[in-house]
Structure formats: structure tokens, C-alpha cells
A and B are shown apart, each in its own frame.
Chain A
Amino acid sequence: MKSLGSIRRSFAPWADPASKPFISVKNVTKKFGDFTAVDDLSLNIYTREFFALLGASGCGKSTLLRMLAGFEQPTSGEIILDGQSLAGIPPYRRPVNMMFQSYALFPHMTVETNIAFGLKQDGMPKADIAERVGQMLKLVKLEKFAKRKPHQLSGGQRQRVALARSLAKRPKVLLLDEPLGALDKKLREETQFELMDLQQELGLTFVVVTHDQEEAMTMADRIAVMSHGKVVQVATPAEIYEAPNSRFVADFIGDVNIFDGTVFAAENGYLRIETGNGFPIRMASPEKPAIGAKAAAAIRPEKIRVSRQPPAHAPINAVEGEIWDIGYLGDMTVFHVRLKDGRVVKASSLNAVRAVEDPFGYDQQVWISFGEDAGVVLKD
């Protein structure tokens, strides 16, 4: 699998202006009565990309997926797949297949006939169907369960049948609606990696809808964070996490501390933000807003240090507080530090050394501090 990893790292067609998108969503709006589910949305998805649509329920991600599958028609705008407009093309004539959240396995058919369903519909010769079904069963490791009915399978096995069925026709694009939503945590984590390997192996384009940010971060090449029918940010998982473009994204993905303030000074790519109560922040920023403009610094908990002594750069990027809460998670410990003005800052530290004794106790006076490149400046 190591070689695949290297392919994955070098895979970035979206950064190359010469590469043509495989799926192009152009200004698509979908309205249900008065409700706008998808609002003037545009995005590009490239061949062999593992693309995730991430958002809370009701953000329009499933509606977008259903428009790709052909179950819904856009109210306005256009979807282009492989250079061809999908307007007016019914689901059964689209070279895409979907894996449903509920799996939608046909209860009156065996695993085998479920997988063969689409092939039989296309009139594929019987021998070829048997061969393809065999391949698919092997791919999802269900050879022994070919004759079972869906109700005789576990949740994880059903999920794999659904996957095999949607892959059997070798679609150009596989759409996955919350593919792991019904699995328990442990199985979900295993299956995430299985799906990634499978996508690499088959060289397909995957579009997955999920509300689980961890799932999206693990699997996807790029994530589109959606809110109220719009795409807020499209970027790689690392970019989304380290450089969120808005308060919404910063807050939606992972934990974050947001310090609101005003721009006090700007020099050499750094901004000085005054957040009140003698806690100035100096943070790297490619943009240069006007002095006095509102700005906020967003810093992830793991980038905040907790120490007994003030750091050398205090009071810049450092402030005193007391330990309010301690959450010991095993691999790391989360501290809630209460500042003098009442703000609570989340900081986490990796437990790299076996420590039976906690270095910090409740109500203890500590300093929190962070580097100048630890976070990002948000304008809104």
C-alpha cells in the first residue's frame, strides 16, 4: 500500500490549470417550494478524485448528490459529466451509480442477485455476469455469503453488498450517501481505509456525502464544506483544518479557539490584534487589513501550550489563567483554561510520555501561549 500512498500525495489535479474537471457543477440551484436546498453552487471534481461533501444535515449536500444521480433535477444551472450535460438525463441512463445510506438492498434477492441486478438489466451475457459477480464478491470479501438474503447479514456485510452492487456496473463515478453512517465506530474506522484502498485500486471517482468531519478528513482528497446550500470552502483536509477561510469552517472542523479583536498593527506579513484585557496576539496573515478593522485569531487547541512559567515572548501570544477543567483522553489531555476576563480557552497536549501524575491540577495558575504561525486570522 506504500506505493499508493505516494500516488495519493502527488495527486492534485485541481491545482493544475491545464487539467479538465470530470464533473462540473455550474451555478446549480435547487428549490423545493420556498425552500432553497442548493443555492447557486459551483464546483469541479476531477477524475480519480475522492471528493467529500461535508455539512450538517439540511445543508443541501444530499440534494446535490441526488442531482448528480438524477433523482432530482436542478431548478437552474447545469451539471456536466465528462464533457456532457446531464440535464434531462434520467438516472438509468447516467454512467454513475449510487450507494444509498439505507443500502437499499432488494430484500427478495440474495447477495448474488442483488449484485447482478444492474448487469442483468443491461442484458449482459450470463457467464459474464457470473464472472463479474464473483469478482465483486471477492473484492468485498463476501464469497461465502453469496446465497444469503440481506436480512441474514450483519450491518457491515450489508454495507459491503451495497458497495459491491453499486460498483458492479463499473460506473465512471460512484456516489456514496453517508456510506458508513450505520456502522459502529470501530467498524467505521476500518471501513474508511477499505474504501480508500478500493477507490485507489479501481481508479474511480468517488463523491461521498457525510456529516462526519473525521470521516471526510480521513478519506477525501478534497472536502467541500457546505452550509445553507452553498459551498463555504473547497480544499484538501489539511488546508481546511489549518487554513479555514471562515469562522464557520474553523468552527465546524475540529475544535478551535477564536479570539475576537481589532487590528492594531500590520508588518512583514504579521498582524497584531488587540483582543482586550492586555492580551495582544501577533499572527501570520497573508492579507493586510486596515488598522482598526475587526479581525479574529483562530487557534487549534493542540497548538496552545500550557506552562507554569510565562514564556519569553509574554505578554504577546501569552496570557495567564487558571485550570478550569481537565479531560484525560488517554492519548492526550484537554485543558480548559479560564482567563481573568472569563473567557475559556481550550488547550490540548499529547501524552507522549507515560505520566501517572498529572503535571497540572485544578484551579492551578498557568500560562497559555502559542506561536506566531500557530493559527489563522479570520476577517469575518
Chain B
Amino acid sequence: MARVASALFSRLVIIIPYAWLLFFFLIPFFIVFRISLSQTAVAMPPYTPVFDLFGGLSGVMEKAREFSFDNYVWLTEDALYFNAYVSSVIIAGISTILTLMIAYPIAYGMAKAPKSIRPTLLMLVILPFWTSFLIRVYAWIAILKPEGLLNQFLMSINVIDQPLIILNTNWAIYIGIVYSYLPFMVLPIYSSLEKMDHTLTEAALDLGCTPFSAFWRVTFPLSLAGVVAGCLLVFIPAVGEFVIPDLLGGSETLMIGKTLWNEFNANRDWPVSSAVATILLLILVIPIVFFQNAQAKADGEGR
């Protein structure tokens, strides 16, 4: 009996995450995908066809014939969408690189810090999460605007005499993304650096490496799994980011999250916005698959 129970239990343990994925990812995705194949309609919900069970099976089949890929064709015809995708990927890419350049030294410093103060440092990295994301982004408006804190400070110490125009440019978006996603980059890099055996660095020094070359030949390659994880954790949400470009970016900033929001709310075009979301998902699946491969490889090496 106990064996049957434990076999059942181990099945159950596997079922839970799969059920989670099914209910909270696959089913919503299929709903979105299904809407993306529909047409707009002035109705509630605002698309056709809408299935009901009154027509029976033949009625459902009849209505299913109305599905088409017209919305996807539409996305290819209007350059707006293509430009928005490309611009999102570029902005997310630049932001990811900037985040990496700032986060790596932070994570390195944390991993090299005395063991007793590491929990405090970790806490400080996570601390911004305790305030609302929206409030923190709004705070950047106050800092970056022409008469904001940054410009006041720079002008008071006579570094500049004209205020810098940062707000409503891509620079403000980079700053916003780097600031908001920094912990997601710091934490995986820190965890990969922290568990690294420090005698490896000593071995590299012993074999003739200067501290600089020891870093590039040993420390950095060994932290690569953390770097890849951090980059994906920043890049993936940054591509679809809506709040930061909306609040900090300019009107000419094109990002797919904003486009999607416009289609959905301003145009009330659910099918097209669903098609935009589906394509976005496909764009993001590629780095996720890449990430999983890297992870599997890292696991293999860790054994």
C-alpha cells in the first residue's frame, strides 16, 4: 500500500507543475491564438466568430471556417509592426548590455565581500522591490525632466548650463529598464560567482595569469551561466515592456508593448493585438529555448 501511495504521490508531484502550465499558460495562449484568427466586430466580445453550443457540431464547424490568418498578413503589410518589433528588440538588447555592464561589477563585488556582510548586500539589491514598480518609474520622471533633480544638480555644480533633455528619449527608457531590471541581472551572476572555488583564481595566477587575464580566462567563463540567465531575465520582459516606454519614452519611441496596448485599448482591435502578442511570444521563445540549452549544458558541467 505504501508503495502504491508513494507512486501516486510522485505522479502528483509531477502533475502539479504541468497542470499549472496548462491552466495558466497553454489555455490562455490558445485563447489569445484563437482570437488572433478572428475578425473584429462591433459586438461584445468585439470579435467573430463567437462559438455557442446551440448550432450543434455542424454549427461549430461552420463558424470555424471563418478563422483566417488575415491578421498576420496585415501585420506584414503595415511597416509599423515590423518597426516596432525591431525597435523593441534593439532597445531591449541595448538595455540588457548596459544592465550587464553595471550588474557584473556589483555581483563581483558582492561575491568578493566578506561572508558576514553578503546577506546585507543581497538585501540591498532586493530592497527596491519593496516599493511599487510604478512609483519608482514615476520617480525617474522627477529626476530626469528638464527642471528635474539631475539637471538642477548638474547646473548647480556648473557642469552644464543648459538642461539635458533625457526624459522622453530612448535614453530615459534605457535608464528605466536598467534601473528596474538590475536585480534580475545581479542575482544570477552573484550566485554563479559566489559558488565558484576561489582557488581556481589562485591556480590561474600560479600558472602565470595576471589578475586581469585570470578574470577573463577563468572567472568570467565560469560565470557565463549566470550571465546568460541574467541577460534573458532582463531581455525577455524588456522586449514586451510597456510601462517604462510609456512613462519615460517619447512619442516617437516605438515599442511592441505600446503598440499592443494601442491596438487593444485605443483601436479595440482584439484580433490584431492578439496576433501581435502571438508573434511577440514566438520572438521570445527563441531566446528561452537558447537559455534552456545553456542551462542544461551548465548542469552537465556542474555534475
A-side residues, CB < 8 A to B, are 69-71, 90-92, 97-98, 100, 102, 104-108, 117-118, 121-122, 149, 151, 165-166, 169
Contacts and interface: CB of A to CB of B under 8 A. Distances in A.
Given A106-B218, A107-B222, A149-B301, A100 B207 contact: no
Contact of A106 (B203, B205, B206, B302): B203
Contact of B303 (A106, A108, A151): A151
10 contacts: A69-B206, A71-B205, A92-B208, A97-B206, A98-B206, A104-B200, A104-B202, A104-B203, A106-B222, A166-B206
B206 A108 contact: no
B197 interface: yes
B301 A108 contact: yes
A102 B209 contact: no
Given A106-B203, A106-B222, A108-B222, 9 more contacts: A69-B206, A71-B202, A92-B207, A92-B210, A104-B197, A106-B200, A107-B222, A108-B301, A121-B209
A117 B204 contact: yes
A118 B301 contact: no
The 7 closest A-B pairs by CB, nearest first: A118-B207, A104-B203, A104-B199, A121-B208, A91-B205, A98-B206, A92-B208
A249 to B, nearest CB: 31
Interface in B172-215: 197, 199-200, 202-210, 213
Interface of B: 197, 199-200, 202-210, 213, 217-218, 221-222, 301-303
A97 B202 contact: no
Nearest to B224: A108
B215 to A, nearest CB: 13
Q: Would you call the interface of chain A mostly helix, strand, loop, or mixed? A: loop
A98 B303 CA distance: 25
B200 A169 contact: no
Given A107-B301, A121-B213, A149-B301, A102 B208 contact: no
Given A100-B199, A149-B301, A169 B207 contact: yes
Contacts of B199: 100, 102, 104
B208 A118 contact: yes
A108 B298 CA distance: 9
Nearest to A151: B303
Which of the listed residues A102, A121, A122, A169 has the most CB atoms from chain B within 10 Å of its own CB? A121
A100 B303 contact: no
Nearest to A177: B199
Contacts of A70: 205-206
Contacts of B204: 106, 117
Contacts of B217: 117, 121
Nearest to B221: A108
A107 B303 CA distance: 10
A151 B301 CA distance: 7
A165 B207 contact: yes
Contacts of A105: 203
